Structure 1
Amino acid sequence: MGTWDIGHFDNDTAADFSGSLDDAAEADRPGILRETLLRVARTEEYLDSDEAAEAVAAAALVAAQCPGGEPVTTAYGPDEPIPALPPELRGLAVSALDRTLREPSELLELWDESGSGPAWRADVLRLRDVLVAGGDAPGAGGESALG
């Protein structure tokens, strides 16, 4: 795992994902985020670390548009703007984060092996809290957006 810090974009996979968003037409970016989150949320078998890292980055972009969300200002995030995202992506982002934090998850295992697992997990849970507080997310009276 090519990582340099615990931030949501502080790894090669998330940085590459940001580049793919920049390369896509602006109108296609919400769909890319949705498909990335959906792929992870629906994974029942072993979750690959690259897919999980992309989902965490996608969830950070969704959370950035929530009340209380932090803007993505890192140089490793997308350079091009993310258009207004539909609120139902919040629930899907929560589901993807929940899946990332549940075994079997390679990303979870790698962070736990690194010794930085608790700090990384706390950052992901803070992101999840923003998404839930933003509404339309499981735990906030909304339904899961897996469909």
Structure 2
Amino acid sequence: MGRWDTGVFDSDSVLDWVGDLCDSGLAKGIAETIVNLEKGLADGYMEMDDCEISVALAQIVAILHGKPRPRDLPEELADLLDSDRHRSSRNELGRSLHFLEKALGGNAEINEDGVWDSPESLAAWRSHGLTLQKYLKSLQESESPKRGCLWF
């Protein structure tokens, strides 16, 4: 396994994905990632790499919506975010939240016994995801059209 710590960007699969994202640009890279994650979820189970990429995608979408950048953001990704003028859509926000919730859910390889060296490591990794989940949900709620009754 190519995971060396509990941070969002602490795995080979995520860093490979970041490289691909930098090569294709944010709009195309995010769109392709959403399609690939959807295909990976066809059977309802999320593989390890997809779990890790889902959290990284959520981190990027959160940054695009104003969340401060984490200290461990890879330099090439920081450069891309500085130079690419992509504005994340409500659809990207919703899809990234969906995949993040799948990664944090029970039917995901990353949550299985034996994947982590300790329960504390899994809890530390999950804490990043849970923080992102809370942030993205608050954005989704604030960006939702308000419905109500108008009194005349």
- TM-score range with shorter-chain normalisation? 0.7 to 0.9
Q: Secondary structure at the match of 2:112?
A: helix
1:23-52 alpha-carbon deviations (Å, 9 max, x no partner): 114542331243245345x44433210111
Conserved? CA contact 1:8–1:57, under 8 Å: yes
Query: 2:124 maps to what in 1?
Result: 119
User: Runs in 1 of length 4+ with deviation above 4 angstroms?
Assistant: none
Identity among equivalent pairs (%): 25
Query: 1:5 maps to what in 2?
Result: 5
How many residue pairs match? The answer is 138
**Aligned match for 1:94, one of 97, 110, 113:** 97
Task: Calculate the aligned-residue CA RMSD, in Å.
Answer: 2.8
1:1-147 alignment, distance < 5 Å: 1-25=1-25, 27-39=27-39, 42-67=41-66, 69-71=67-69, 74-75=73-74, 78=77, 79-81=79-81, 82=84, 83-109=86-112, 113-115=116-118, 116-135=121-140
Alpha carbons of 1:122 and 1:76: their partners in 2 closer, same or farther (altered >3 Å)?
same
Choose 1 or 2 for highest CA Rg.
Answer: 2
Query: 1:145 maps to what in 2?
Result: none
Alpha carbons of 1:118 and 1:14: their partners in 2 closer, same or farther (altered >3 Å)?
same
Conserved? CA contact 1:6–1:119, under 8 Å: yes
Q: TM-score, normalised by structure 2?
A: 0.74
Residue ranges of structure 2 left out of the alignment (5+ in a row) = 146-152
Distance 2:128 2:31 in 1: 25
Q: Which residue identity is paired with 1:94?
A: L
Residue ranges of structure 1 left out of the alignment (5+ in a row) = 143-147
More helix as a share of residues = 2
Q: TM-score, normalised by structure 1?
A: 0.77
